[in-house]
Every structure is written in structure tokens, then in C-alpha cells.
Structure 1
């Protein structure tokens, strides 16, 4: 786990929103595969890597949300009532796609503390 990155994300969130965030870390992984494994019952070797994603989040009473990528110094803002892809190709479309799929399943966008 990258403690320096976790601290950077947490500190940025607190400085921006003046709230204590819920912190989430998702470790990275890779799959090492050989050639022709898909149709020859070959083996796949999953492995953890020293990369990952850190997220800081918190509840809001607003229907407007923000997501920021600190490494890119970019922030997107969107309404949770009208999710649609961004006009340009962006990391933000991944976030919007996840939210859209949660909504399609009829699940609430609620953070439980």
C-alpha cells in the first residue's frame, strides 16, 4: 500500500471539502498469460503490482458530485440525475460509467458510514 499517496489524497480532500473522507484503496494487478491460452486451456498467472488507486469520498445532500484526478490535476463535475459521457475522452468517463451501471441496476448511490 502506498502510504504517501493515501496521505496526499486524504489531505487534498480535507483541504478542498473541509470534511473527513472515507478512504478506499484498490490494489492493482496484472494477468500474465502465454500465447494461445484462450483456446488451448492455458494457464493465467494473476499477480499483484505495486500500483493502485486511492479514493476519498463522503456523503453529500446535493445531486451534483465532483471527482478529481490529483495526478492529472483535473476535476469533473456532474449531476447524478443525468449521467452521460463527457464530450472528450477522459478518465472521468470511467467514473460516470460505473455510476450509470449502478443506476441501471436500480441501486441507490449511497455511502454508508
Structure 2
């Protein structure tokens, strides 16, 4: 371990745990809110695309419409659902971390599983 590594380790050990938790909460919450907002926008875009597909002229190539519908209606929705699920899990973890900070739990408590 170099002198710089030792100094960094000492600084980390000397930072109060509550400040660490507050910083982590802040660092996680901002990106979560941003990602959640963009997910809403993506869902709206997907819904608009589905509506547009339904309004295509009757003489539009049926195979092309089917492929587009599969991409937008099925594949895109699957991806949106998976990302939303991950964001929800992250939000749950953040809430548990916030609660553990408020309740004064110790380092050994597992906040990820409740």
C-alpha cells in the first residue's frame, strides 16, 4: 500500500458513516429520477408509434407493418418493462438505505433484502 493509498483509506475511515450514506443517497437519487423521467418519455414515444402503425394506409406492405409492430409493440415494450423493473428495484434499495440511515442501523445490516 502506498502512502497515498494509506492516506485515502484513513480519510474514508474517518468520514462519519451518516455523511457517507447521505452522499450515496444523493448520488443514486439524481440519476434514478432522471432515468425514470426519460422512461416516461420513451413510453409515450412507444405509444405514439403504436398509434401511428394502426393508422397506416391499408395498402402499406403487410409484412413491413407486422415487423414494425413486433419491434415497437413487443420488443420495445419488453425493454421498457425490464428497465422499469430495474429502476423500481433501485428505488426500493434507496428507500431501504434511507430508512436504515434514519433508523440508525449498523454496517452489517443487509439493506438490499429488507
TM-score, with length taken from structure 1: 0.24
Rg: which structure is higher?
A: 2
Q: Which has the higher contact order (CA 8 A, sep 6+)?
A: 2
Q: Quick check: which one's strand share is greater?
A: 1
